[in-house]
Structure 1
Amino acid sequence: MRGIQFLVNEDGEKTAVLLDLQEWGDLWEDFYDILVARSRSEEDTVSWSDLEAELDQENATNGAV
Protein backbone atom coordinates (compact mmCIF):
# COMPACT_ATOMS: atom_id res chain seq x y z
CA MET A 1 0.00 0.00 0.00
CA ARG A 2 1.17 3.46 -0.77
CA GLY A 3 2.19 5.52 2.26
CA ILE A 4 2.63 2.54 4.59
CA GLN A 5 5.95 0.96 5.60
CA PHE A 6 6.56 -1.91 8.01
CA LEU A 7 9.49 -2.42 10.34
CA VAL A 8 10.43 -6.08 10.61
CA ASN A 9 12.61 -7.94 13.09
CA GLU A 10 15.40 -10.41 12.30
CA ASP A 11 12.83 -13.14 11.67
CA GLY A 12 10.94 -11.04 9.14
CA GLU A 13 8.00 -10.49 11.50
CA LYS A 14 6.28 -7.10 11.33
CA THR A 15 6.88 -5.21 14.57
CA ALA A 16 5.89 -1.63 13.73
CA VAL A 17 4.29 0.45 11.04
CA LEU A 18 5.09 3.87 9.62
CA LEU A 19 2.17 5.80 8.13
CA ASP A 20 2.46 8.78 5.82
CA LEU A 21 0.19 11.23 7.64
CA GLN A 22 -0.42 13.28 4.51
CA GLU A 23 -1.86 10.13 2.97
CA TRP A 24 -3.46 8.52 6.03
CA GLY A 25 -3.78 11.32 8.62
CA ASP A 26 -7.58 11.19 8.84
CA LEU A 27 -7.54 7.44 9.35
CA TRP A 28 -4.75 7.73 11.93
CA GLU A 29 -6.88 10.09 14.05
CA ASP A 30 -9.67 7.50 14.17
CA PHE A 31 -7.23 4.69 14.94
CA TYR A 32 -5.61 6.74 17.72
CA ASP A 33 -9.00 7.56 19.25
CA ILE A 34 -9.78 3.83 19.39
CA LEU A 35 -6.43 3.10 21.04
CA VAL A 36 -7.02 5.76 23.69
CA ALA A 37 -10.55 4.50 24.37
CA ARG A 38 -9.35 0.90 24.74
CA SER A 39 -6.49 1.93 27.03
CA ARG A 40 -9.04 3.58 29.32
CA SER A 41 -11.64 0.80 29.24
CA GLU A 42 -10.73 -0.46 32.72
CA GLU A 43 -10.89 2.99 34.36
CA ASP A 44 -13.68 3.77 36.77
CA THR A 45 -16.64 5.61 35.29
CA VAL A 46 -18.18 8.79 36.68
CA SER A 47 -21.87 9.56 36.45
CA TRP A 48 -22.92 12.75 34.70
CA SER A 49 -24.48 14.14 37.90
CA ASP A 50 -21.27 13.48 39.88
CA LEU A 51 -19.20 15.17 37.16
CA GLU A 52 -21.55 18.17 37.12
CA ALA A 53 -21.30 18.49 40.89
CA GLU A 54 -17.51 18.27 40.75
CA LEU A 55 -17.33 20.94 38.04
CA ASP A 56 -19.72 23.19 39.96
CA GLN A 57 -17.54 22.79 43.04
CA GLU A 58 -14.38 23.63 41.06
CA ASN A 59 -16.05 26.66 39.50
CA ALA A 60 -17.23 27.91 42.89
CA THR A 61 -13.75 27.43 44.35
CA ASN A 62 -12.07 29.23 41.43
CA GLY A 63 -14.60 32.05 41.33
CA ALA A 64 -15.89 31.22 37.86
CA VAL A 65 -19.36 32.29 36.88
Structure 2
Amino acid sequence: MKGVSYLTDDNDQKKAVVIELATLERYTNDLEDLLDGLIAESRKHDEKIPLKDVISNLKKKGKLK
Protein backbone atom coordinates (compact mmCIF):
# COMPACT_ATOMS: atom_id res chain seq x y z
CA MET A 1 0.00 0.00 0.00
CA LYS A 2 1.36 3.40 -0.90
CA GLY A 3 2.44 5.38 2.17
CA VAL A 4 2.94 2.29 4.34
CA SER A 5 6.35 0.81 5.15
CA TYR A 6 7.51 -1.98 7.42
CA LEU A 7 10.45 -2.05 9.79
CA THR A 8 12.15 -5.40 9.92
CA ASP A 9 14.64 -7.11 12.21
CA ASP A 10 17.97 -8.69 11.22
CA ASN A 11 16.09 -11.79 9.99
CA ASP A 12 13.86 -9.65 7.76
CA GLN A 13 10.84 -10.32 9.98
CA LYS A 14 8.31 -7.47 10.08
CA LYS A 15 8.35 -5.81 13.51
CA ALA A 16 6.62 -2.45 13.02
CA VAL A 17 4.71 -0.41 10.50
CA VAL A 18 5.27 3.22 9.50
CA ILE A 19 2.32 5.08 8.02
CA GLU A 20 2.87 8.42 6.30
CA LEU A 21 0.71 11.17 7.77
CA ALA A 22 -1.00 11.90 4.44
CA THR A 23 -2.00 8.24 4.17
CA LEU A 24 -3.06 8.16 7.80
CA GLU A 25 -5.40 11.12 7.31
CA ARG A 26 -7.16 9.34 4.43
CA TYR A 27 -7.82 6.27 6.56
CA THR A 28 -8.50 7.84 9.96
CA ASN A 29 -11.83 6.06 10.49
CA ASP A 30 -10.30 2.68 9.63
CA LEU A 31 -7.41 3.35 11.99
CA GLU A 32 -9.77 4.32 14.81
CA ASP A 33 -11.66 1.05 14.30
CA LEU A 34 -8.39 -0.88 14.39
CA LEU A 35 -7.29 0.85 17.60
CA ASP A 36 -10.70 0.26 19.21
CA GLY A 37 -10.37 -3.43 18.39
CA LEU A 38 -6.86 -3.60 19.84
CA ILE A 39 -7.98 -1.87 23.04
CA ALA A 40 -10.96 -4.21 23.38
CA GLU A 41 -8.72 -7.22 22.83
CA SER A 42 -6.25 -6.02 25.45
CA ARG A 43 -9.05 -5.64 28.01
CA LYS A 44 -10.83 -8.95 27.43
CA HIS A 45 -9.48 -10.43 30.66
CA ASP A 46 -10.18 -7.35 32.80
CA GLU A 47 -12.49 -7.70 35.77
CA LYS A 48 -16.13 -7.53 34.73
CA ILE A 49 -18.46 -5.25 36.70
CA PRO A 50 -22.23 -5.71 36.35
CA LEU A 51 -23.98 -2.70 34.83
CA LYS A 52 -26.28 -2.38 37.83
CA ASP A 53 -23.21 -1.96 40.07
CA VAL A 54 -21.72 0.67 37.77
CA ILE A 55 -25.00 2.61 37.78
CA SER A 56 -25.28 2.31 41.57
CA ASN A 57 -21.72 3.58 42.08
CA LEU A 58 -22.27 6.51 39.72
CA LYS A 59 -25.44 7.46 41.59
CA LYS A 60 -23.62 7.30 44.94
CA LYS A 61 -20.94 9.64 43.58
CA GLY A 62 -23.60 12.07 42.32
CA LYS A 63 -22.59 11.59 38.70
CA LEU A 64 -25.87 10.05 37.67
CA LYS A 65 -29.44 10.83 38.69
- Please indicate the TM-score interval, normalised by the length of the shorter structure: 0.7 to 0.9
Identity %: 26
Aligned-residue Cα RMSD (Å) equals: 1.9
Give the 3-state SS of the residue equivalent to 1:41 in structure 2.
Answer: coil
Give the CA deviation at 1:13.
Answer: 1.0
Structure-1 separation of matches of 2:49 and 2:37? 20
Alignment match of 2:41 (pick from 16, 24, 38): 38
Counterpart secondary structure, 2:62: helix
**Length, aligned pairs only:** 62
In terms of fraction of residues, the more helix-rich structure is 1
CA deviation map 1:3-61 (0-9, x unaligned): 2110011111110011231232221111100010011000111111111100001117x
Runs of 4+ that moved beyond 3 A: none
Task: Give the number of the structure whose alpha-carbon radius of gyration is greater.
Answer: 1
Q: Secondary structure at the match of 1:15?
A: strand
Taking the aligned partners of 1:26 and 1:19, their CA distance within structure 2 comes to 14
